[in-house]
Amino acid sequence: MDKLVLLPGPVMVHEDVLLRSAKQVMNHRSEEFEEILSECIELAKYLFQTDGNVAVITGSGTAGMEAAIYSLVEPDEPVVSVVNGKFGARFADIAERRGADVHRVEFEWGEAADPKAVDEALSETGASVVTVVQSETSTTVLNPVKEIADVCKDHDAYLVVDAVSSLGGVEFRMDEWGVDVCVTGSQKVLGCPPGLALVAVSDEALERMKEVEAGSYYLDLVKYFEYLEEDPMQTPYTPAVNAFYALHEALKKLKEEGLESRWERYKRLQEVVREGIRAMGLDLFVEDDSIASPTVTGVVYPEGVDDREFRGRILRDKYDVVVAGGQDHLAGKIFRIGHMGDVKLRDMITAVTCVGMGMLELGVDVDVGAAVERMAEVVAGS
């Protein structure tokens, strides 16, 4: 078991983070745990770039999405959901399950959301809640959250953002942009094992949540915020204590590196992968650099290459490199290289080179040498 895991989550976890989570459990209703929890919340505010409210839920990213919707949205109310991939559709499905009257603003998979269409949908529906995914992991597209937030402001609508696969790896400024609710997960950019969802809520959105009767017992965000006011500060239900240790360590690492430095570092990792793939002669699923996610890159399979054979027998079994396949109708058509978590330039260079060697083995005419040369240029800063 010595694989290079380059999935868009879960990701490689730094040894310090892993070892921290191996410590003995503690009473989660103690001053000792309060110290960890309160520092996690403070560091998470930095991560979200907010002075507002942050809750940490034991559960995966989807739990965070569901908590956001079931705490903010009332049954029957109109909701506008931007759908240009699997996770945008998941937000819409959750809102529908909540009983909302969901209006989907759809785009082709591989295209970015157009804020104008959100504007029109808000005018048409009078909805007061909009959902959007920042990095649509299924298509590797980065949606323009800031511009969509501007539109929401014009309509006095709350904006709920899924930044599960992007937060910490790409610019996101909750307060400055006017985002109301934002969700992320521990097992992506933060580089922790899976298990925690972080949800940030603006003061205005929290006021609304207090008026809404939450549709979920476990995922009632108001309760999480009430328990943060307890002495000692705590979570309503038994948290995954060891996952909090890991989160604490990972957030400290992020603060040490600095958000902006991490955003820059991720851009560089992305550029190495994209330029290497292009130089060898393969097609990127999202050709336009300006809408490509800095945390994951999709590559189009050349005609005749079998996904299982390539990702399984060759990349995983021969080269110990684990990448993701396509989702839903993109299964077998693309594969995705994650560049988030505890990854370095070395890992990107390894991945691209192994992709090239795997393609050669399958008879695809790629130029691995050109990819290496181009990656060297990118690393050298040209």
Residues that bind ligand PLP (CB under 6 A): 8-9, 60-62, 87, 133, 135, 137, 162, 164-165, 185
Would you say the C-alpha torsion 345, 348, 350, 356 has a positive or negative sign? negative
- Shortest gap between Cβ of 115 and ligand PLP (angstroms)? 19
Taking alpha carbons only, the member of 287, 25, 17, 269 closest to residue 139 is 287
Q: Which residue's CB is nearer to ligand PLP, number 49 or number 137?
A: 137
The answer to whether 43 and 255 have CB atoms below 8 angstroms apart is: yes
Q: Which is nearer to ligand PLP, 328 or 361 (CB)?
A: 328
Taking the complex as a whole, the smallest distance from the CB of residue 217 to ligand PLP amounts, in Å, to: 19
Q: Is 263 helix (H, G, I), strand (E, B) or coil?
A: helix
Closer CB to ligand PLP, residue 291 or residue 378?
Answer: 291
Cα 52 to Cα 109: distance, rounded to the nearest angstrom = 33
Cα dist. 182→107, 142, 150, 275, 278 in Å? 22, 15, 16, 31, 33
- C-beta neighbour count of 344 within 10 angstroms: 12
Give the residue carrying structure tokens 């396949």. 325
Minimum CB distance to ligand PLP, residue 214 (Å)? 19
Specify the residue, 121 or 296, whose C-beta has the smaller distance to ligand PLP. Answer: 296
CB of 164 or CB of 375, closer to ligand PLP? 164
Least spacing, CB of residue 89 vs ligand PLP, in Å: 11
- In the bound complex, what is the minimum distance in angstroms from residue 176's beta carbon to ligand PLP? 22
Minimum CB separation from ligand PLP for residue 44, in Å? 16
Alpha-carbon distance values, 115 to 15, 112, 150, 290 (Å):
41, 9, 9, 15
- Please identify, using beta-carbon distances, which residue of 134 and 235 lies nearer to ligand PLP: 134
CB-closest chain residue to ligand PLP: 61
Q: Considering only CA atoms, give the Rg of the chain.
A: 21
